[in-house]
Amino acid sequence: MDEDVTKQSGKPLNLPLLIIIPLTVFVIFAITLYVWMEKQVTINDDGKLITVKTMQPTVARVLEENNITINPEDMVKPGLEEKVKEEMEILIKRAFPVAIKVDGKNLTIKTTDTIVMSVLKQAGIKLNPRDRVQPGLDSKVYPGMEIKVIRVTVEYITEKERIYYHLIRRKNDKLDKGVTRVVQQGHEGVKEVTYKVIYEDGIEVKREKLQEKVLKEKQDKIVEYGTRDSFVNSRGERIRFTKALTVIATAYDSGYSSTGKRPGDPGYGITYTGIPARRGVVAVDPRVIPLGTRLYVEGYGYALAADIGSAIKGNRIDLYYESYEEAMRYGRKKVKVYILADQN
């Protein structure tokens, strides 16, 4: 039967051709499908460009296929789950470190943001209306940058303060030179002052006075000082002086009661400066009246500061008298001592 069929057609059957033709068609179809599905993609990895062909369906698979690792802080556009399209550009922006000083802490974050405001928002840092940021919120961000957040607070305080009085000095030509007189005592006043105080990170940086109210007025101290440099004594002589002192005056003689020495003792009748004791010689405190100073003592007359005494300290003088009786009669008095102008 088969032989008859073959004979009737006149041509023998070619089995390999029957296989090759469908296979060729399939291969052509597969190649066409591959070419149709393969897409060209450009990857921009922080400025480094590579172009690849891929059949991967998503951005994530393309990056994985090309051994490109993405860190959690990095930015990828379009997103990792986006489908791949022909001539797509995948942009990778690598995160870089930025330091932030805020609230006494030093923070470091990785970011891809380009301005300071966005970095702070990423870090979860909230700003109060008065806070300052260095550099400014609109400043561009770069790797290794330090951003400083300065917390600014304002406080209104009221304090009581002293009002200091002044010392007013006035001339008085009726007072002797070197003599002063308090005409009016001074006392401090009190005022209540309200300030606006600005703090930066808890440290006061500015204090502005808003108002003040006087609670107690001050009173200035008034002191008069003498300018009179001469006077006329009981003999009608005009005495010129450079300074007048009020002192406590006592009297002494050369005897044992005053000096602890008797006639014949070494130094008996000799002053500290080496001159003989006589009327007109007075003992002084050299810190107040230098030795050798010529004086005029009220009620005693002209004198020379030439001696010292253990009891003569400060504004005190001891007047020499020839006898113990005269010294005792003099007693103790408050007198004026004039330092003479002419010391030659």
Cα separation of the two ends of the chain: 176
Q: How does residue 234 score in pLDDT terms, banded at 50, 70 and 90?
A: confident
pLDDT at position 283, please? 96
170, 223 in Cβ contact below 8 A? yes
More confident residue, 7 or 185: 185
pLDDT at position 112, please? 92
Cβ neighbours of 250 (radius 10 Å) = 19
CATH architecture group of domain 1-94: Roll (3.10)
Integer CA distances (angstroms), 214 to 12, 157, 162, 208, in order:
132, 16, 10, 18
Handedness of CA 60, 62, 67, 69 (dihedral sign): negative
CA 2 to chain centre: 117
Q: Is residue 117 helix, strand or coil?
A: helix
What is the C-alpha separation between 308 and 212, in angstroms, rounded? Answer: 58
225, 159 in Cβ contact below 8 A? no
The pLDDT of 271-282, averaged and rounded, is 95
The pLDDT of 157-165, averaged and rounded, is 97
240, 342 in Cβ contact below 8 A? yes
- Shortest CA distance to 315 belongs to which of 297, 292, 294? 297
Q: Is residue 148 helix, strand or coil?
A: strand
CATH superfamily of 230-340: RlpA-like domain (2.40.40.10)
Q: Is residue 137 helix, strand or coil?
A: coil
Mind listing the pLDDT tens digit for each residue in 235-258?
A: 899 999 999 999 999 999 999 989
- Shortest CA distance to 231 belongs to which of 126, 146, 123, 341? 341
Mind listing the pLDDT tens digit for each residue in 314-323?
A: 999 999 999 9
308, 218 in Cβ contact below 8 A? no
What is the C-alpha separation between 115 and 229, in angstroms, rounded? Answer: 81
Q: What's 158-225's CATH class?
A: mainly beta
CATH topology of domain 96-150: Ubiquitin-like (UB roll) (3.10.20)
Residue corresponding to tokens 């020495």 = 261
User: What ranges do the domains of the chain cover?
Assistant: 1-94, 96-150, 158-225, 230-340
What is the C-alpha separation between 307 and 300, in angstroms, rounded? Answer: 16
Token pair, residue 152, equals 């600014």
| Predicted TM-score (pTM) of this structure | 0.56
Mind listing the pLDDT tens digit for each residue in 32-67?
A: 444 446 899 999 998 999 999 999 999 999 999 999
Do the domains 1-94 and 158-225 sit in the same CATH topology, yes or no? Answer: no
